[in-house]
Amino acid sequence: MQLSFSGQEQVPAPPAMVWAFVSDPQRVAACLPGVQDVRVVGERELEVGVPLQAGLLRGTLKARVHIEPDENAGQVRVRISGGGLGSSLDVTALSAVVDQGNGTTRLDWQGAATLGGPLAKMGGKAIEPRVHAMIARTFSNMSAAIARGDRLA
């Protein structure tokens, strides 16, 4: 099953603050809704567990998240791959970091996901709005955290 998504998020902070935030996987991980068991495993890499419930399927999807900020290109690429419950998930997302010129930043994001196995079969099209909402919530959470100047202890 193929899914695509796109959106936009206004961040009430300058691009330098956005770049500092997206370059720190722990700070990004704190913005992922519904994610459990977050573990930083590399400079730009996380392992996460996401509890799933779709029809009769219940369990945890384990995934590896790669965050690739490229300030020179003005974009952040995120790759997610994982599986669980006999299903697979592969996501590639790209966000342009756009300086609004007034101390704010716009994130224009888009991506594609491929679901395989029972999750795709049982969840069908009902999964698409859930995936889109989860991604939109991640960007919204990031915007709010950047605006607050969240720091990790």
Is 80 within the bounds of a domain? yes
The pLDDT confidence band at residue 11, using thresholds 50, 70 and 90, is very high
Q: Are 138 and 32 in contact (CB under 8 A)?
A: yes
Is 14 within the bounds of a domain? yes
Q: How far, in Å, CA of 85 to CA of 118, rounded?
A: 8
Domain limits at 81?
2-148
Is 58 within the bounds of a domain? yes
The radius of gyration computed from the CA coordinates of the chain, to the nearest angstrom, equals 16
pLDDT at residue 60 tops 70: yes
Is 153 within the bounds of a domain? no
The two structure tokens encoding residue 100:
């609004």
Domain tally, the chain: 1
| pTM beyond cutoff 0.85 | no
Q: Per-residue pLDDT tens for 68-125?
A: 999 999 999 999 999 888 889 898 989 999 999 999 999 999 988 888 888 777 666 6
Average pLDDT over residues 21-30: 86
Long-range contacts of 86-89 (CB under 8 A, 24+ apart): 86/117, 86/118, 87/57, 87/61, 87/115, 87/116, 87/117, 87/118, 87/119, 87/120, 88/114, 88/115, 88/116, 88/117, 89/61, 89/63, 89/113, 89/114, 89/115, 89/116, 89/119
The two structure tokens encoding residue 145:
């955290």
Average pLDDT over residues 31-38: 84
- Looking up residue 96, the CATH number of its domain turns out to be 3.30.530.20
Alpha-helical segments (H) within the chain: 15-22, 25-29, 118-123, 127-148
Average pLDDT over residues 18-28: 88
Q: How far, in Å, CA of 41 to CA of 25, rounded?
A: 9
Question: What pLDDT does 153 receive?
Answer: 43
Is 72 within the bounds of a domain? yes
Q: Are 47 and 61 in contact (CB under 8 A)?
A: no
Is 10 within the bounds of a domain? yes
